[in-house]
């Protein structure tokens, strides 16, 4: 699941970058009809935000349930080893 979220983030970021380029080229060409591009960028940024929130919320210790800032092998709160499947 984490791999999927990671790939969604990468794809969304790529689309946002390409779209920003298209928008930039259009604006340079004095074409101000960039509403669709602006919406795509906005949607991609929303996806990024949701994925970031999901990753932060999903980064919890399975034993004490506290949020871990680092993705280390051990929980900084209870000191127990985190199973690799939760990474």
Q: Is 61 in the site for Zn ion (CB under 5 A)?
A: yes
CA gap 61, 50 in Å, rounded: 20
Rounded to an integer, what is the distance from CA 66 to the centroid of its chain?
21
Pick from 11, 25, 56, 78: which binds Zn ion (CB under 5 A)?
78
Residue placing its CB nearer to Zn ion in the complex, 36 or 64: 64
Minimum gap (Å) between residue 52 Cβ and Zn ion:
22
Binding site for Zn ion (CB under 5 A): 61, 63-64, 75, 77-78
């Amino acid at each position: 699941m984490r791999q999927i979220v990671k790939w969604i983030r990468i794809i969304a970021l790529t689309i946002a970058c390409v779209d920003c380029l298209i928008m930039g080229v259009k604006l340079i060409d004095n074409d101000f009809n960039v509403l669709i591009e602006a919406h795509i960028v906005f949607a991609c940024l929303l996806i990024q935000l949701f994925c970031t929130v999901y990753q932060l919320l999903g980064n919890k210790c399975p034993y004490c349930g506290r949020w871990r800032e680092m993705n280390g092998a051990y929980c900084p709160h209870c000191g127990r080893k985190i199973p690799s499947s939760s990474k």
